[in-house]
Amino acid sequence: MREIVFDTETTGLDPASGDRMVEIGCVEMINRVPTGETFHAYFNPERDMPPGAEAVHGLSSAFLSDKPLFRDTAAALLDFIADSPLVAHNAAFDFGFLNAELALCERVAVCTSRMIDTVALARKRHPGAKLSLDALCSRYGVDRSHRVKHGALLDAELLAQVYVELTGGRQIGLELPAETNTGSDAIAVMRRAPARRTPRPARPHAASAEELSRHRAFLERMDAPLWGS
């Protein structure tokens, strides 16, 4: 199954108030395994960058000034995500910005039925625990030492590892291959007889005539043995 883990960086918290998406990073996974295929883009938000937002992700207005507009990259992004389920941390936030950008360039919104929220998964699995991406990386031993500031692609790569842990961990790689793990094939594997081995000839186990003679001589030298009384 193909899934896309993604993250966004923005100018603020609310697209309805004029905040825009300035970065998106996507990681392709097949059967919960990253394939190495990614999509990453920065966008000119056509507005200023508030200092509070820049402090989070480090993306300044000057840096973004020569980047493409979202509408110029939308087709490539939509081709990459295709119709796959989309995994995000606090997914309603990322979906809100993605669909707001799609609306601005008069494209169809991504249906929220495709949304998989890792915050909801973590809350169900670890009720009462901290649910931030940093906290989950620490819980599952995901190395985030290179994460100085938020970055969409880096955070998507970290989230992909967390998502694997939230949905079964590394054990998912221990299943039988699909072609032998279903129906009668699986039953046939379980019932297959072990390979036959050629039996080894039995080792000699009877005493020789010489050994018996030495044993009798030894017994005759014993003084009043118990078994002789």
CATH number, position 53: 3.30.420.10
How many C-beta atoms surround the C-beta of residue 60 within 10 A? 12
What pLDDT was estimated at residue 186?
39
What pLDDT was estimated at residue 212?
82
Is residue 176 in a domain? Answer: no
The number of angstroms, rounded, from the C-alpha of 192 to the middle of its chain's C-alpha atoms is: 33
What pLDDT was estimated at residue 145?
81
Is residue 59 in a domain? Answer: yes
Residues of the chain with pLDDT under 70: 148, 170-197, 200, 202-205, 227-229
The pLDDT tens digits for 119-169 are: 999 999 999 999 999 999 999 999 988 776 788 999 999 999 999 999 987
| Helix (H/G/I), strand (E/B), else coil: 23 | strand
The answer on whether 155 is annotated among ligand-binding residues is yes
Which position among 89, 126, 146, 150 bears the catalytic label?
150
What pLDDT was estimated at residue 19?
97
What pLDDT was estimated at residue 185?
41
**Is residue 150 annotated as part of the catalytic site, yes or no?**
yes
Confirm if 112 and 136 have CB atoms less than 8 A apart. no
Is residue 14 in a domain? Answer: yes
Is residue 226 in a domain? Answer: no
The answer on whether 7 is annotated among ligand-binding residues is yes
Is residue 147 in a domain? Answer: yes
Is residue 184 in a domain? Answer: no
Question: Distance between CA 156 and CA 137 in Å, rounded?
Answer: 12
What pLDDT was estimated at residue 195?
57
Is residue 20 in a domain? Answer: yes
DSSP 8-class letter at 108: P
Question: Distance between CA 21 and CA 181 in Å, rounded?
Answer: 43
Closest CA relative to residue 49, chosen from 58, 41, 40: 58
Give 85: exposed, middle or buried? Use CB within 10 Å, 0-12, 13-18, 19+.
Answer: middle
Q: Domain of 88? A: 2-169
How many C-beta atoms surround the C-beta of residue 88 within 10 A? 25
Is residue 205 in a domain? Answer: no
Task: Name the token pair of 173.
Answer: 């790689």
- In this structure, the strands spanning 86-88 and 33-42 are unpaired
Domain tally for the chain? Answer: 1
The answer on whether 57 is annotated among ligand-binding residues is yes
Side-chain-facing half-sphere of 75: CA atoms under 13 Å: 1
Buried b / exposed e along 101-131 (16+ C-beta atoms within 10 A): bbebeebeebeeebbbbbbbbbeeeeeeeeb
The answer on whether 94 is annotated among ligand-binding residues is no
Buried b / exposed e along 182-201 (16+ C-beta atoms within 10 A): eeeeeeeeeeeeeeeeeeee
Confirm if 82 and 55 have CB atoms less than 8 A apart. no
